[in-house]
Amino acid sequence: MIGPLRSRLLDLVMGHPALVELRRRTLARAGGLVLELGVGTGRNLPLYRPPVARVLAIDPDRAHLSRARTRAAHASVPVGLVAATAEALPFPDHAIEAAVSTWCLCSIPDVERALAELHRVLRPGAPYAFVEHGLCPEPGIARWQHRLTPIWRRIAGGCRLDRPIASLIARAGFVVERLETGKLMPGPRLAAWTYLGLARAREA
Ligand SMILES: C[S@@+](CC[C@H](N)C(=O)[O-])C[C@H]1O[C@@H](n2cnc3c(N)ncnc32)[C@H](O)[C@@H]1O
């Protein structure tokens, strides 16, 4: 699909009103210099408020970034948009004070590498606030998530339905301090099983 159309579609899907409260709850846990992974079309950008001092937001998709640029221009805090992948973050070690990801760990090809990179750039003890969809603990649903992921990936921009979000984050050197899971958004549990939480980067 061509860039602007793909981007418009993503913007429509991610603009669902039911997601706004989950975004707000996630962003409220960030402060200082914040790194947002996979910013997409910038749906979070209008929601950042102090104590967030500045947002650095990355995404590899230039069409999404171009749409995010308009939202960045009207944000309440300064925003820098960077074309980059989460697997190779263009920032020095321990330079970032907080991190945010919203519905993007599902789409990052090498999520373990991305989380290791996030851990590298975060200051020890820094918060990482996330809201993600992923693997459901109910075996019947999980089975379907595994079965459908190969097809779903092709039609949904690389999105996997079956990532065990909390364990991936913990294995990358974070302590998961708070975690709420459940069907927190509309849709079947296959795609709507949500992990909303707060992790902290452990000392390496
Ligand atoms: C479902 S969208 C979510 C966008 C945004 N976070 C939101 O809440 O609206 C997933 C995003 O992950 C991005 N993405 C895909 N591969 C990535 C990678 N390797 N590194 C960082 N972001 C990536 C996509 O370009 C897309 O913008």
What is the three-class DSSP state of 61? coil
Q: How high is the pLDDT of residue 203?
A: 82
Ligand 1 centre to CA of 102 (Å) is 8
Nearest CA to ligand 1 atom 8: 102
Tens of pLDDT, residue by residue, the chain (204 residues): 678 898 999 999 999 999 999 999 999 999 999 999 999 999 999 999 999 999 999 999 999 999 999 999 999 999 999 999 999 999 999 999 999 999 999 999 999 999 999 999 999 999 999 999 999 999 999 999 999 999 999 999 999 999 999 999 999 999 999 999 999 999 999 999 999 999 999 987
CB 116 within 8 A of CB 201: no
Ligand 1 centre to CA of 25 (Å) is 19
CB 134 within 8 A of CB 189: no
The amino acid sitting at 174 is: F
CB 132 within 8 A of CB 105: yes
Q: Map tokens 């996630």 to a residue.
A: 26
| Sheet of strand 174-183, all strands in order from the earlier edge strand to the far edge | 79-83, 52-59, 32-37, 98-102, 127-133, 193-201, 174-183
**Which of 85, 100, 107, 130 has most ligand 1 atoms within 8 Å of its beta carbon, as the pocket-test mutant?**
107
Percent of the chain as helix, strand, coil, to the nearest 5: 40, 25, 35
pTM attached to this predicted model: 0.97
Ligand 1 centre to CA of 104 (Å) is 5
The architecture CATH gives domain 3-201: 3-Layer(aba) Sandwich (3.40)
Q: How high is the pLDDT of residue 1?
A: 64
Ligand 1 pocket list (CB less than 6 A)? 10, 14, 37-40, 43-44, 59-61, 64, 85-87, 102-104, 107-109
Phi, psi dihedrals of residue 29, rounded to the nearest 5°:
-95, 5
98-102 and 32-37: which strand pairing? Answer: parallel
Ligand 1 centre to CA of 51 (Å) is 24
DSSP-assigned letter for residue 202 = P
